[in-house]
Copies of this chain bind each other. A is one copy, B any other.
Amino acid sequence: MTDRRLAESVRVVGSGLLGTSIGLALTKRGVDVVLDDASPSARRLAIDYGAGRAPAPGDAPGLIVVAVPPDVIARVVAAELAAYPDALVTDVASVKRAPLDELVAAGADVSRYIGSHPMAGRERGGAVSARADLFVGRPWIIAGHDGISYRRAAALEDLILDLGATPIEMDVEAHDASVALVSHAPQLIASLLATRLTGGSDEALAIAGQGLRDTTRIAASDPVLWGQILSANADAIAAVLRPLRDDLDAVIGALADIDAPGARRTLVEAVAEGNVGVGRLPGKHGHSGRYTTLTIKIDDRPGQIGRLLTEIGEEGVNMEDLRLEHSPEAEVGFAEIAVVPEAAGRLADALTARGWTIMEAER
Binding site for B on A (CB under 8 A): 119, 122-124, 129, 131, 133-134, 136-139, 141, 166, 168, 170, 174, 177-179, 181-183, 185-198, 200-201, 203-224, 226-227, 230-231, 234-235, 237-238, 240-245, 247-249, 251-252, 254-256, 258, 263-264, 267-287, 295, 297, 300-314, 316-319, 321-324, 326-333, 357, 359-360, 362
Contacts and interface: CB of A to CB of B under 8 A. Distances in A.
B256 A238 contact: yes
A340 B68 CA distance: 34
23 contacts: A122-B295, A122-B360, A124-B360, A139-B206, A139-B207, A166-B329, A177-B204, A186-B215, A188-B267, A189-B193, A190-B215, A211-B217, A214-B218, A215-B218, A216-B277, A219-B277, A227-B267, A230-B255, A231-B264, A241-B248, A305-B319, A306-B311, A310-B310
Given A223-B268, A302-B318, A311-B306, A217 B119 contact: no
A218 B211 contact: yes
Contact of A306 (B208, B308, B362): B308
A133 to B, nearest CB: 7
Contacts of A191: 270-271, 273-275
B131 A360 contact: yes
Nearest to A198: B277
A200 to B, nearest CB: 5
A274 B194 contact: yes
Given A306-B307, A306-B313, 8 more contacts: A138-B327, A181-B196, A183-B209, A189-B193, A192-B270, A195-B274, A214-B285, A234-B255
Interface centre among A183, A194, A331 (most CB of B within 10 A): A194
A207 to B, nearest CB: 5
Nearest to A184: B255
A192 B281 contact: no
Interface centre among A124, A208, A308 (most CB of B within 10 A): A208
Given A182-B200, A212-B182, A330-B138, A219 B280 contact: no
